[in-house]
Each structure stands twice: as C-alpha cells, then as structure tokens.
Amino acid sequence: MGSIESKKLHDFPFDFYKSTAPLQIYNAVIFLIREGLHNVGLYRRICHCYDKIPFGELTTEFQNEMATLKSDKEKATFLGLPEEMYPLSKCVTDENLKKLGENAKIDQWEKAYTALGLPLSCPAALILEYPMTVYYMLTKYVFPKGVPTNEPIEVHLPGAEKECDLVFLFEVLLAFLPAGVDLTIRMVGPSVSPNLKDDQRLYKFEDKDRKSKLTIHLVTGHYEKQHYSGEVFASEKDGNVNKPPSAVFMLNPALLAHETWVPTIQFLMEAKAKIVITDVMEPNIELLRVNMMRIGFKMTEPHQVNPFRGPLHRWTPDCNFPGFSNGFICVLH
C-alpha cells in the first residue's frame, strides 16, 4: 500500500471520495443510485448495465434525443449534468477563472471544479476524467508552450471504447482550451460500433463567440498506418486531413493484455509519433517500459500520476495494487 500514501493516490478533493473512505468501484452502482444518476445519460458506461450496446451507439441515441430538447436545462438533465455546465462550450466562465488567479494552470481537479463553478459534491468527475485527461495531455505533453490557435490540430485515440459514448461531454474542451482552437479528435477502435452510419460518426461543436471548433470522428477498426498518416481521412470534405496527428493518446488501453499492440506501437515509434498512454495500474507501466526495450525503444520520461484520474478506486485483490481509470501517464516518443 506504499504508493497509495507516498503518491497520495487517494488525494481527491471531492466530498464523495475521502482518503479514509475511498469511493470503491464495487460501490459505484449504489453511489450512482443515491445520486440519482444510475443509467442516466453520460453515466451509463460506469456500470455494466449497457455492456451489450456497442461503443458509439449511446452517442447516436443522445444525438437523436438532444435534437428534440429545447432548453439548456432539459439537455443538461438528459445527459445527467448539472445545469450550470450548459452550454458545455461555455461552462468555464471568466468570473470563475478569476477565482484561480491570473494565468493559473488548470492541472488538478480542484481547479477544474473552481473553473466550472461546481461544488465538490458533484460527481461529474466520474465522467469528466476522459475529456480532462485529454486536456491535460494536450497542455502538458503536446503543447506545453500553449495550444496553437492559428492552425487546425488533431489527436488520435486508438483503441477508443467508453470515450465514444462521451462525445457530447468532450465539448467541455472548447471551454478549457484557448479561444480560436480548431481541434479534431479521431476515436479509432475495433470496438467502435460497425453499425454507425456516416452522420453518426462525425460530431461537430462550435463556439462562435470564441471562434473555437471541435470535431469528433468515430472510426471502426484497428488503428493502422493509414489512420496515422491521415490517408484514410483524405476523402473527408473538411478537417485536418492527409497529415499525421500532433499526438496519439491511448486511454486505459491495457496494452500488455493484448498482443495486437506490438505492431501499432512499433510503427508509431518508427514514425516518431508522440504517444501518450494511460494505465489503470502503475506496475503495468513498468512492464511496458521493459517490453518497449525488448522491441528496441525506450520511455524517455518518468511516468506520473494523472491528476485527472477517475475518482473510483479499483483494488485488484490478486495483485494488491491500487488502480484508477486513466490512473498513470507515460510518454513514448
């Protein structure tokens, strides 16, 4: 249990997660029921009730339903979000940012909640961990000097699963990223539903006032060279096509459990891609380090605890290590 204390893994600011009483994954359903969020909107992927529905199909359902809803309040309630977060592209206000001080970096949950004006009792972090982890990776590892606003930027998420059903939540990125950003995220994976039609794969969000754009593309299939090069996206009418992405993010990919990752990592390393990976458990990152050396590459930077890891503790009895969704981050490049 050493790393729990030394790395302050239970150190979350939330009312529902105390280091003395962590919110355990086996209690997630009870917690969601108590919060009135079990099987509600964007929270549906937290438990196993919707496991039979392929990834991306819940987003299709949200899209259909959202088109019938008129007010922000109705939309927020339908997605299970607090009303003050809607519209999502404007959920970070200047007034809230002022509370953080000038040029404050949003690099931990408490600051993100202040920026959002949310009370620390709000369970939104259980789903916000995905877009906030992407935000953190972009600002810390890919564009540490500032996210560019003078050119379109693109990131790829190979092996995407749950995040495909959080598409509507990713709109918060428009509020956290600088005005004028034009970001495309391609979520590519064999588990992305093959049943999605073209218009159920491409989602566009825009904040006209800040001139910011976000495009999310759901793609079914194993991530291959033609995805990385942009070749397969070249037929699209718009977007940043036929050019490699700024970075490749793999969220909770459990790389060591799947041998299919080897050729993917290999071609990405050879292409000198910037790859940022998260893992639920720290020892998996150590194993990845060893395996990378076996195929002739090394991890150049030490891994770190993700400040935006999901606040649901997973304790795996057979290995006795603490785990969190997107718990630890390492960079390969």
List contacts with Zn ion (CB under 5 A): 47, 49
- Do residues 259 and 265 make contact, with C-beta atoms less than 8 angstroms apart? no
CB of 30 to Zn ion, least distance (A): 10
Q: Strand, coil or helix: what is 182?
A: strand
| Nearest to Zn ion of 28, 174 (CB atom) | 28
Residue 178 amino acid letter: P
CA–CA dist 314, 207 (Å, integer): 37
Task: Give whichever of 49 and 234 is closer to Zn ion, judged by the CB atom.
Answer: 49
Q: Which burial class, exposed, middle or buried, applies to 4 when counting CB atoms under 10 A from its CB (0-12, 13-18, 19+)?
A: middle
Cβ-proximal residue to Zn ion, closest one:
47
Q: By the 8 A CB rule, do 261 and 255 touch? A: yes
Tell me how far, at minimum, the Cβ of 49 lies from Zn ion, in Å.
3
Cβ 192 to Zn ion shortest distance, Å: 22
DSSP 8-state code for residue 223: -
Instruction: Provide, rounded to whole angstroms, the least separation between the CB of residue 32 and Zn ion.
Output: 7
Q: Which CB sits closer to Zn ion, 46 or 331?
A: 46
Among residues 245, 212, 249, the alpha carbon closest in space to that of 227 is found at: 245
Task: Say how far residue 264 (Cα) sits from the centre of its chain.
Answer: 20
The length of the chain, given as a count of residues: 333
Which CB, 49 or 254, lies closer to Zn ion?
49
For the bound state, the minimum distance from the C-beta of residue 45 to Zn ion, rounded and expressed in Å, comes to 10
Whose Cβ is closer to Zn ion: residue 42's or residue 277's?
42
